[in-house]
Amino acid sequence: MKILIFRCILALFLAIPALMVGELGMRIFLPGAYLSPQPGFMVDGPEYPSHLLPGFRGSERNYLIYDPGAPLTEWTITINQLGWREPEYPQARPPRTRRLIVLGDSVTFGMGVDDYCALPAYLKRDLDMDTQSNWQVFNRSIPGWRSWHQARHLRRYGETLRPDIVTVHVVMNDFVPLAAEWWKSIVPTTAEKKFLEARAQA
């Protein structure tokens, strides 16, 4: 079981460099892909830049659109009553149950995919099947989160949840503010305008 857990964590960390390069390339060469409005399941909050809307159940149009003329696809999303994209776990840990907290941003959250396709959902299915234990996998990821948001969340809820394992997924959100002016200097504004016009007419 320890070997399986190690492999899952190793695979997660090996995927990070590839995701960082891919996201960097999209933000440079596909600027319009990131110009969608705030989705309906997110709200502004005082503690973090964005919160998930507790109890939200519905579908959203995909937020990454490489071709403005392409048809929009929809994906289902469910937010529990505590405001997280995870099952309604009881506060008390049941016997023979282990806990994993997955901290991350939009990639770990599962932006653009159905609930069962998000990374934490995959981890729970694999761990339940291969370790013969019951796992509670907490998807504590919010689009736009940075490492300090994740650290603050862990300090606040870590003692209550008492996880066996915590994984941290960092992509580009920590670096984007530092490079904002550089992005603007290389991204043509005409592409942004065309993208927004196409979305308005869709």
Please report where in the chains the tokens 């440079």 appear, as a residue. 28
Give the pLDDT score at 181. 47
Any idea what DSSP says for residue 166? E
**pLDDT tens for each residue of the chain, 202 residues long:** 666 666 666 665 665 565 555 555 555 554 444 444 457 888 876 666 678 899 999 888 755 444 455 556 788 999 999 999 999 999 899 988 999 999 998 889 998 889 999 999 999 999 988 777 899 999 999 888 888 888 888 998 888 999 999 999 877 776 665 544 444 444 444 554 455 455 555 5
- β-pair partners for 137: 100
Buried b (16+ CB within 10 A) or exposed e, 95-134: eeebbbbbbbbbbbbbbbeebeebbbbebbeebeeeeeee
pLDDT score at 87:
95
* Strand ranges for the chain from DSSP E: 42-43, 51-52, 57-61, 74-78, 97-104, 134-141, 165-168
Tokens matching residue 196: 């927004």
User: What pLDDT score does 18 carry?
Assistant: 58
Q: Which domain range does residue 96 map to? A: 2-201
- Region of 132 (left: φ > 0; alpha: ψ -120 to 50; beta: rest) is left
pTM above 0.75, yes or no: no
pLDDT at 21: 57
Distance between CA atoms of residues 178 and 166, nearest Å: 27
d(CA 191, CA 65): 13
Own/partner pairs, 11-15, CB within 8 angstroms, 24+ separation: 12/119, 12/167, 12/169
Q: Number of structural domains, the chain?
A: 1
